[in-house]
């Protein structure tokens, strides 16, 4: 039986509702119609209109603070103005002969669909910490001391929602960390409001994005890591060259990693960025979805599809393409070796276990190369979860098409099993 278009039928029903229309919850009506269609044996073509985002919108200014350990005087030539203008604020680089913006603020605006900006962000420093490097086994303690040092030197943090601390050497416990700091400014819409990175952060915007990903997650501390190579909270957190090491042979300056990629669908869900109407929930039977690309989404199409599993787990399905900041390229380095900052284009299937556990990418070739087509699903490929009786078939994927992909999800049996997830980065 061919799929029926839910939106066409609902729109056709609306004139028949007459005076009752104002009282009708169209979202509820659509959900009930889906349930009826599945029971009746129809295949539902879920093409849903976008609705308002639920995330807190508007500017969230960041105070970028530069601090040096009391026993580490070398700041490697970095300045507050330099890091602000080359990492945080809009700036241009040349990539494949084209001029593109390589700023954290630009990526945040695109990845949050324009709902969050970093307007008002400023940078300050250098400030000297009261203690040597060895005295900070917990990096957030150095961050708190940096905040105090900045305030003692006249920095007014009242206008800022977040703080980003850069130090001039390594951190003792991780490459980066995020935490809840005591700040006088606007209350953060999320639990976390501060991040700290070591000196590698000066050449590694994706490392900073990793920590921003923690901060933006509405769930607080949990649910932020992933083993995805198309997400800065996973293998996409590329590193630039180490400022404490000599410039590599053949280079004239330290190489700075491209700011991209943007976050995967499950991370954007945790950030509250994907509206309910563009995030349909699989309700059983067989449903066919026309799916938009995740970045710069196409109007009128779902952005991500959720397939619920037992115990609160779910699959999150999205289409990743090389567009916008997801089209940027990087150089081979010791954490991320690929020609693109985002893994190969295709349909991505993530296993999301809970807000307190990492997300896991289901590979089309398990154990294969996570930066290749092994990590995505292309036309004609089907993912099968035998234990839970779920199949996810990609009937079409076209990165420049409208829709970007067509997905058919089928429930063939009783759901009995939740899968595991894993982390891939030594960052908090």
- Indicate whether 70 and 211 sit together in one domain: yes
Higher-pLDDT residue of 290 and 36 is 290
Q: Is residue 418 part of a domain?
A: no
DSSP string, 300-344: TS-S-EEEE-GGG-EEEEEEE-S-GGGG------SS--SSSSSPP
- Indicate whether 258 and 389 sit together in one domain: no
- Indicate whether 349 and 387 sit together in one domain: yes
Q: Which two tokens stand for residue 139?
A: 């990096």
- Indicate whether 295 and 357 sit together in one domain: yes
Q: Is residue 419 part of a domain?
A: no
- Indicate whether 97 and 224 sit together in one domain: yes
Domain tally, the chain: 2
In this structure, what CATH number is given to the domain that contains residue 76? 3.40.390
Rounded to an integer, what is the distance from CA 93 to the centroid of its chain? 23
Least confident of 100-104, 118-122, 207-211, 330-334: 330-334
- Indicate whether 192 and 333 sit together in one domain: no
Q: Is residue 195 part of a domain?
A: yes
Residue with tokens 């420093």: 125
> Stretch 142-152: mean pLDDT, rounded?
98
Q: Is 353 helix (H, G, I), strand (E, B) or coil?
A: coil
Q: Is residue 164 part of a domain?
A: yes
Higher-pLDDT residue of 257 and 193 is 193
How does pLDDT run across 29-55, given as a tens digit for each residue? Answer: 333 333 333 333 333 333 333 333 356
Return the biggest CA–CA distance within the chain. 77
List b or e across 238-277, with b for residues whose CB sees 16 or more CB atoms inside 10 angstroms.
bbbbbbeeeeeeeeeebbbbbbbbbbbbbbbbbbbbbbeb
Q: Is residue 420 part of a domain?
A: no
- Indicate whether 300 and 170 sit together in one domain: no
- Indicate whether 284 and 170 sit together in one domain: no
Q: Which two tokens stand for residue 166?
A: 């850069």
Q: Which two tokens stand for residue 332?
A: 């081979």
Residue 330 has a pLDDT of: 65
Higher-pLDDT residue of 250 and 404 is 404
* Domain end position, chosen among 248, 265, 282: 265
Output the average pLDDT for the chain.
Answer: 81
Residue 327 has a pLDDT of: 85
Residue 381 has a pLDDT of: 98
- Indicate whether 237 and 140 sit together in one domain: yes
Residue with tokens 């700075």: 256
* Residue 395: exposure state from Cβ atoms within 10 A (0-12, 13-18, ≥19): middle
* Domain end position, chosen among 211, 240, 265: 265
| Calpha distance 264→319 (Å, rounded) | 9
pLDDT tier for residue 229 given thresholds of 50, 70 and 90: confident
- Reference 390, options 362, 370, 366, 368; nearest CA is 362
- Indicate whether 315 and 226 sit together in one domain: no
Residue with tokens 């659509």: 30
| Calpha distance 307→385 (Å, rounded) | 11
Decide if pLDDT at 423 tops 90.
Answer: no
How does pLDDT run across 396-421, given as a tens digit for each residue? Answer: 999 999 999 999 999 986 544 444 33
Q: Is residue 417 part of a domain?
A: no
Residue-range definition of the domain harbouring residue 221 = 58-265
- Indicate whether 201 and 153 sit together in one domain: yes
Q: Is residue 360 part of a domain?
A: yes
| Calpha distance 335→306 (Å, rounded) | 30
Residue 221 has a pLDDT of: 54
Counting Cα atoms < 13 Å in the Cβ hemisphere of 320 gives 34
* Domain end position, chosen among 265, 294, 327: 265
- Indicate whether 240 and 378 sit together in one domain: no
Residue 1 has a pLDDT of: 39
Q: Is residue 352 part of a domain?
A: yes
């Amino acid at each position: 039986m061919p799929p029926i278009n839910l939106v066409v039928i609902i729109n056709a029903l609306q004139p028949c509702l007459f005076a009752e229309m104002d009282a009708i919850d169209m979202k509820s009506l659509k959900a009930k119609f889906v349930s009826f269609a599945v029971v009746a044996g129809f295949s539902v073509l879920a093409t849903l209109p976008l609705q308002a985002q639920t995330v807190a919108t508007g500017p969230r200014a960041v105070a970028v603070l530069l601090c040096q350990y009391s026993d580490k005087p070398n700041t490697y030539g970095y300045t507050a103005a330099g890091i602000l203008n080359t990492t945080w604020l809009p700036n241009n680089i040349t990539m494949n002969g084209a001029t593109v913006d390589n700023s954290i603020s630009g990526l945040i605006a695109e990845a949050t669909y324009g709902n969050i900006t970093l307007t008002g962000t400023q940078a300050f420093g250098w400030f000297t910490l009261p203690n040597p490097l060895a005295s900070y086994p917990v990096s957030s303690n150095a961050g708190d001391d940096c905040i105090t040092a900045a305030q003692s030197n006249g920095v007014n943090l009242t206008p800022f929602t977040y703080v980003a601390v850069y130090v001039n050497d390594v951190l003792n416990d991780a490459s980066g960390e995020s935490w809840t700091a005591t700040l006088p400014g606007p209350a953060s819409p999320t639990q976390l409001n501060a991040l700290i990175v070591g000196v590698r952060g000066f050449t590694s915007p994706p490392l900073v994005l990793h920590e921003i990903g923690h901060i933006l997650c509405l769930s607080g501390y949990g649910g932020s890591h992933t083993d995805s190579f198309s997400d800065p909270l996973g293998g996409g957190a590329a590193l630039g060259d180490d400022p404490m090491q000599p410039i590599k042979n053949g280079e004239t300056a330290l190489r700075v990693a491209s700011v991209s990629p943007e976050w995967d669908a499950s991370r954007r869900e945790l950030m509250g960025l994907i509206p309910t109407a563009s995030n349909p929930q699989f309700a059983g039977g067989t449903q066919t979805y026309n799916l938009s690309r995740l970045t710069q989404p196409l109007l009128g199409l779902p952005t991500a599809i959720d397939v619920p599993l037992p115990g609160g787990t779910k699959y999150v399905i999205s289409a990743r393409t090389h567009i916008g900041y997801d089209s940027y390229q990087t150089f081979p380095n010791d954490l991320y070796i690929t020609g693109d900052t985002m893994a190969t284009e295709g349909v991505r299937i993530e296993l999301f276990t809970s807000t307190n556990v990492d997300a896991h990418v289901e590979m089309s070739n398990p154990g294969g190369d996570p930066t290749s087509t092994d990590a995505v699903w292309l036309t004609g490929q089907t993912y099968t979860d035998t234990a839970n009786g779920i199949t996810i078939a990609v009937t079409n994927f076209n990165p420049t098409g409208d829709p970007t992909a067509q997905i058919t999800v089928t429930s063939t049996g009783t759901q009995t099993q939740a899968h595991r997830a894993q982390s891939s980065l030594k960052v908090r």
